Amino acid sequence: MRTTQFAELQLPRIAKLLGFEKEPKWLTIRFAIFISLSLNKEIDTNEKIDFTEGKSYNLDVITGKGKVDTQGDQADYTDFIALLVANSENNKVNTLRGLELKLEQHCERGFAILASSLNDNSDIFEWIKQEFL
């Protein structure tokens, strides 16, 4: 899964606001994806996204495919995330590549939302409460 230069620049700032600065990057990326998926608005698939200055992450890392958590419980959210994407888009996600493409778009939109809505003094919990009530 690819990210853009914009997402990579926002990642440390958003991670700090979320209290994730010591956590793996995928946690903040996943949060941005879920913010985007929480909207009742489809992604504009005609909008071109420039990934040339971003980074690539293994989709399995983002979704947790085949992973277990520290207590030995299942931490593979691939099917769950695919279901969220399909529900959000009112369309099936038939392949892992299709899921990856959708997650790239949701990641970019999620970081755009977070970057434009939060500042360094933001209380993330208050912001979430206001955004989703």
74 versus 120: which is more confidently predicted? Answer: 74
The predicted structure's pLDDT at residue 51: 93
pLDDT digits (tens, 9 = 90+) for 25-39: 999 999 999 999 988
List the one residue out of 89, 115, 116, 90 whose CA is nearest residue 102. Answer: 89
- pLDDT exceeds cutoff 80 at 119: no
Q: What percentage of the chain carries pLDDT values higher than 70?
A: 88
Mean pLDDT of the chain: 86
The predicted structure's pLDDT at residue 76: 85
- pLDDT exceeds cutoff 70 at 20: yes
Mean pLDDT lowest among 51-55, 57-61, 86-90: 86-90
- pLDDT exceeds cutoff 60 at 92: yes
Residue ranges of alpha helices (H) inside the chain are 5-18, 25-37, 59-63, 78-89, 96-117, 124-132
* Contact by Cβ (8 Å): 104, 51: yes
If you search the block for the tokens 């989703």, which residue do you land on?
132
